[in-house]
Amino acid sequence: MLADWQVPSVNSPRKQLDERFARAFAAAFPDLEPEGDLVVAASNPQHGDYQCNQALALARQLKSRPRDIAAKVLKQLDVTDLCEAPEIAGPGFVNLTLRPGFLAQQVAERVGDPRLGVDPAPARTLVIDYSSPNAAKPMHVGHIRSTVIGDALARTLRFVGHQVIADNHLGDWGTQFGQLIVGWRDFADHDALAKRPMEEIKRVYQAVKEREEQDPAFKERVRQELVALQGGAPEQTAIWEELIALSRRYSENIYQRLGVQFDVWHGESFYNSMLAEVVTDLENRGIAREDQGAVVVFFDTPTDPPNLKPLLIRKSDGAYLYGTTDLAAIKYRVDTWNADLLVYVTDGRQQDHFKQVFQTARKWGYTQQSLEHVWFGTIQGEDRKPYKTREGDTPDLLALLDEAEERALAIVREKQPHLSPELQQRVARVVGLGAVKYFDLSQARTSDYVFSWDKMLAMNGNTAPYMQYAFVRINSILEKCGIDPATLCGPLTLDDPAERSLARAALELGDAIEETAATYRPNVLTTFLYEVASQFSTFYERCPVLAADEAVRTSRLTLCRLVARTLELGLSLLGIETLPRM
Ligand code: ARG
């Protein structure tokens, strides 16, 4: 969780009321420290916009009747500029109805602001380690999650005001390179490598594995090549470099299609020269010790969490491990960039690994930095097992992106036959890739989810196509109005309940960003955007915009502008493109 100073200070109407209530509670009950949000959305819109339920929550602690508590707080509460006179209802709820003028003024103030009224937080330096696939292996469907969640968090935290370093910690070092070097020599078709590198690498790797099982001498050759590579032999190093370059070109292609960028690609091999020193240093400080020839960090002091398994940092044959590299990377990131916060986006199976690494880092002295493992669940097929193709393979990410675009194209062709083929292609790309990303981001991060083309491409519901079309609809109103949308800034009159609900929803952008940043949960942002888009639908059904009288028309157009900008900004923080027309 980010500390308070790491997220933007939010000034939505709800938050402003919340702060007033906090002050009133403090004045009425000085010893009390109420927890959580004091003001929440009204459960029934007929009772107002917001409500405060704290009087009920605190009744037992204060040994007093909720209605009396509420009355005492209201005596201290000054909200006349924000809302109508608060009402105590039922057993002790306080109902709050915003003044239409206040809501109108809030919309007018924010609609033209480049940041839509969301103030930046004091800048800190964050490193986000995401995607990080194993080089020389095709990326598969599972890599979507780390790539897409990591990218959304990087974008959001940048918008929040932090200096974000996006680091692709490629698995570019490991025993598979022994096999690949022999494969390169014996089996590789270098034409195929140039044309379809990853398919060819995969084929070669399989061929080596098969041969190894039958031929012990061959297996020994593989081992020797690995030893040579690890010892820095020039020939083996040159082959390894070529393999890495090919696999990097392959993943760059995927990132380009997904619109994902990294600031640095410090793969595991980047840290090789630092590993020996890390181990020696941990040994010298008594954090690691020798155990049967290996070097191990034991978590057996009173300050260590219980039941944490020891972390092996050097094997008895002298080889270093995944965790050793992660420790070197922590040192590097803090020494080089002065990072305040290190975030790692991987699947849930690595939870123990990061607990061990983080605890070691704390013992090592990295106590001022926050270390966060942002983990996610698996993608499953309809059978609730890890998602597989009909042939039973793990779906290749590139093929999956192609399929997303093809499926979207079929829909666009059917629904929009009048569009030019080029535009249909473009729409299909934006909608298809957006659908895959949005579907992933809209899931509760730590849950598993079932991959479904039909659900992610649905035109209705909490999907990318729905959000993207909502944006297009609003845009088309703004295009038809004959006024430059950039000049629309009120004045507003928000008399219809649908206008009020829409304005209120859109003004909570900052709250959604704050919570997304603080909990590393992009689905907070998708839920917010879906709420705004749904409220827009209701508004649009009830409230004519272009046909309204001059004053109402200006007001509603301004509201439309706020909504369009909110959707566009929100989707962009998730890495999802919009088109003005489609
Ligand atoms: N390469 C690893 C994998 O594919 C993920 C690396 C995550 N980052 C890290 N610093 N350990 O599982």
User: What does the pLDDT average to over 272-290?
Assistant: 98
- 264 DSSP assignment: B
Distance from Cα 169 to the centre of ligand 1, integer Å: 6
User: What does the pLDDT average to over 419-442?
Assistant: 97
Name the closest-CA residue to atom 11, ligand 1. 326
Q: Does this model's pTM top 0.85?
A: yes
Name the closest-CA residue to atom 4, ligand 1. 133
Structure token pair of residue 11: 């000034």
Distance from Cα 33 to the centre of ligand 1, integer Å: 41
Which residue, 258, 293, 320, sits at the end of a domain?
Answer: 258
Residues 358-408 have pLDDT tens digits of 999 999 999 999 999 999 999 999 899 989 877 888 888 999 999 999 999
Residues 46-86 have pLDDT tens digits of 899 999 999 999 999 999 999 999 999 999 999 999 999 99
Domain count, the chain: 2
In a domain, residue 145? The reply is no
User: What does the pLDDT average to over 285-313?
Assistant: 96
In a domain, residue 314? The reply is no
- Residue 242: pLDDT above 60? yes
User: According to the model, what pLDDT value does residue 394 have?
Assistant: 81
Which residue, 258, 289, 323, sits at the end of a domain?
Answer: 258
516: nearest Cα among 441, 448, 576, 450: 441
Q: For residue 341, what are the β-bridge partners?
A: 126, 370
User: According to the model, what pLDDT value does residue 393 have?
Assistant: 81
Mean pLDDT score of the chain: 95
**C-alpha dihedral over 46, 48, 49, 55, to 10 degrees?**
-120
Residues 182-220 have pLDDT tens digits of 999 999 999 999 888 899 999 999 999 999 999 999 999
Q: What long-range pairs does 398-405 form, CB within 8 A, spacing at least 24? A: 398/138, 398/139, 398/198, 398/253, 398/254, 400/141, 400/144, 400/436, 401/254, 401/257, 401/258, 401/432, 401/433, 401/436, 403/453, 404/432, 404/433, 404/435, 404/436, 404/453, 405/429, 405/432, 405/433
251: nearest Cα among 329, 153, 171: 171
User: According to the model, what pLDDT value does residue 395 have?
Assistant: 84
Sign of the dihedral through C-alpha 322, 327, 333, 335: negative
Distance from Cα 433 to the centre of ligand 1, integer Å: 24
- Residue 6: pLDDT above 70? no
Helix (H, G, I), strand (E, B) or coil at 533: helix
Q: Nearest 5°: phi and psi at 357?
A: -65, -45
Q: How many Cβ atoms are within 10 Å of 569's Cβ, its own excluded?
A: 18
Q: For residue 290, what are the β-bridge partners?
A: 295
Residues 477-530 have pLDDT tens digits of 999 999 999 999 999 999 999 999 999 999 999 999 999 999 999 999 999 999
- 385 DSSP assignment: S
| CATH of residue 10 | 3.30.1360.70
User: According to the model, what pLDDT value does residue 142 have?
Assistant: 83
Q: What is the chain's alpha carbon radius of gyration, rounded to the nearest angstrom?
A: 28
In a domain, residue 502? The reply is no
Structure token pair of residue 165: 């370093």
Name the closest-CA residue to atom 5, ligand 1. 132
DSSP output for 126-156 = EEEE---PBTTS--BTHHHHHHHHHHHHHHH
Distance from Cα 146 to the centre of ligand 1, integer Å: 10
- Residue 560: pLDDT above 90? yes
Residues 8-46 have pLDDT tens digits of 667 899 999 999 999 999 999 998 888 889 999 999 988
- Residue 3: pLDDT above 80? no
Amino acid at site 40: V
In a domain, residue 60? The reply is yes
Distance from Cα 312 to the centre of ligand 1, integer Å: 17
Which residue, 53, 70, 98, sits at the end of a domain?
Answer: 98
Which atom of ligand 1 lies nearest, measured to the CA of 171?
Answer: 1
- Residue 5: pLDDT above 70? no
User: According to the model, what pLDDT value does residue 2 have?
Assistant: 58
Instruction: Name the residue range of residue 75's domain.
Output: 4-98
In a domain, residue 385? The reply is no
Distance from Cα 162 to the centre of ligand 1, integer Å: 23
Distance from Cα 267 to the centre of ligand 1, integer Å: 9
Pocket of ligand 1 (CB under 6 A): 129, 132-134, 169, 171, 326, 329, 344, 346
- 83 DSSP assignment: B
In a domain, residue 151? The reply is no
Q: Which residue out of 134, 346, 397 has the highest number of ligand 1 atoms within 8 Å of its CB and is therefore the one to mutate?
A: 346
Residues 97-139 have pLDDT tens digits of 999 899 999 999 999 999 999 999 999 999 999 999 998 888 9
Q: Which residue out of 130, 132, 347, 358 has the highest number of ligand 1 atoms within 8 Å of its CB and is therefore the one to mutate?
A: 132
In a domain, residue 475? The reply is no
Q: Which residue out of 350, 360, 372, 376 has the highest number of ligand 1 atoms within 8 Å of its CB and is therefore the one to mutate?
A: 350
Q: Give the C-alpha separation, 153 to 573, whole Å.
A: 8
In a domain, residue 292? The reply is no
Which atom of ligand 1 lies nearest, measured to the CA of 133?
Answer: 4
Distance from Cα 346 to the centre of ligand 1, integer Å: 7
**C-alpha dihedral over 264, 266, 270, 275, to 10 degrees?**
120
User: According to the model, what pLDDT value does residue 1 have?
Assistant: 56
Question: pLDDT confidence of 582, banded at 50, 70, 90?
Answer: confident
